[in-house]
A and B are shown apart, each in its own frame.
Chain A
Amino acid sequence: MEPKNQYIPYKMRIANIIEEAPLVQTYRLEFVDEKDAAQFSFKAGQFAEYGVFGEGESTFCIASSPTREGYLECTFRSSGRVTKALANCELNDIIGLRGPFGNTFPIEEWYGKNIVFITGGIGLPPLRCLIWNLLDQREKFGDITIYYGARTVNDLVYKEELEEWKNRSDVNLFLTVDPGGETPDWKGLVGFVPTILEQNPPKSENSVAIIAGPPILIKMGMPILGKNGFENNNIYTTLENRMKCGVGKCGHCTVGKTYVCKDGPVFTYDEVLNMPPEY
Chain B
Amino acid sequence: MTSLQNKVTELFENGTINLLIGFKEAIHKLPVPCFIDNVSQVEQLIFTPSCKGNLSVYLHKTEVKQAKKVGILANTATLRAIVQLVSENQLGDIEKTVITLNTNGELVVFATMDELEAYVQANFPELSEEDKKLLDQLNAMSRTERWQYWTEQFSACVKCYACRAVCPMCYCSSCTVEGNQPQWIKVSSETTGNLEWHTMRAMHLGGRCINCGECGRICPVGIPVHMLTVKMNQDIEAEFGAKTGFSVKNGYALNSFKPGDKEQFIK
- A residues in contact (CB < 8 Å) with B: 80-81, 84
Which residues of B have CB within 8 Å of A84?
181
CA of A83 to CA of B180, assembled, Å: 12
Listed A/B pairs (6) with beta-carbon separation below 8 Å: A80-B180, A80-B181, A81-B180, A81-B181, A81-B183, A84-B181
Which residues of A have CB within 8 Å of B180?
80-81
CA of A80 to CA of B182, assembled, Å: 11
Which residues of A have CB within 8 Å of B183?
81
Query: Which chain B residue has the least Cβ–Cβ distance from A82?
Result: B180
Tell me the total A-B contact number using a CB cutoff of 8 A.
Answer: 6
CB distance from B186 to the nearest CB of A (A): 12
- B residues in contact (CB < 8 Å) with A: 180-181, 183
CA of A84 to CA of B181, assembled, Å: 10
CA of A81 to CA of B182, assembled, Å: 8
Which residues of A have CB within 8 Å of B181?
80-81, 84
Q: Which DSSP category, helix, strand, loop or mixed, fits chain B's interface?
A: loop
Q: Which 6 A-B pairs have the closest CB atoms?
A: A81-B180, A81-B181, A84-B181, A81-B183, A80-B180, A80-B181
Query: Which chain A residue has the least Cβ–Cβ distance from B183?
Result: A81
CA of A225 to CA of B183, assembled, Å: 43
CA of A81 to CA of B181, assembled, Å: 6
CA of A81 to CA of B179, assembled, Å: 10
Query: Which chain A residue has the least Cβ–Cβ distance from B182?
Result: A81
Query: Which chain B residue has the least Cβ–Cβ distance from A85?
Result: B181
CA of A81 to CA of B180, assembled, Å: 7
CA of A81 to CA of B183, assembled, Å: 9
Query: Which chain B residue has the least Cβ–Cβ distance from A84?
Result: B181
CA of A80 to CA of B180, assembled, Å: 8
CA of A84 to CA of B183, assembled, Å: 14
CB distance from A198 to the nearest CB of B (A): 34
CB distance from A145 to the nearest CB of B (A): 40
Which residues of B have CB within 8 Å of A81?
180-181, 183
Query: Which chain A residue has the least Cβ–Cβ distance from B181?
Result: A81
CB distance from B230 to the nearest CB of A (A): 36
CA of A151 to CA of B87, assembled, Å: 44
CA of A84 to CA of B182, assembled, Å: 12
Which residues of B have CB within 8 Å of A80?
180-181
CA of A10 to CA of B183, assembled, Å: 26
Query: Which chain A residue has the least Cβ–Cβ distance from B187?
Result: A56
CB distance from B183 to the nearest CB of A (A): 7
CB distance from B35 to the nearest CB of A (A): 24
CB distance from B185 to the nearest CB of A (A): 14
CA of A80 to CA of B183, assembled, Å: 12
CB distance from B187 to the nearest CB of A (A): 10
CA of A85 to CA of B183, assembled, Å: 13
CA of A29 to CA of B182, assembled, Å: 27
CB distance from A251 to the nearest CB of B (A): 15
Query: Which chain B residue has the least Cβ–Cβ distance from A56?
Result: B180
CB distance from B88 to the nearest CB of A (A): 31
CA of A155 to CA of B180, assembled, Å: 26
CA of A258 to CA of B181, assembled, Å: 31
CA of A80 to CA of B181, assembled, Å: 8
CA of A196 to CA of B181, assembled, Å: 38
CB distance from B188 to the nearest CB of A (A): 12
CA of A84 to CA of B180, assembled, Å: 12
CA of A81 to CA of B187, assembled, Å: 14
CA of A54 to CA of B181, assembled, Å: 13
Query: Which chain A residue has the least Cβ–Cβ distance from B179?
Result: A81
CB distance from B138 to the nearest CB of A (A): 38
CB distance from A152 to the nearest CB of B (A): 25
CB distance from A202 to the nearest CB of B (A): 41
CB distance from A187 to the nearest CB of B (A): 39
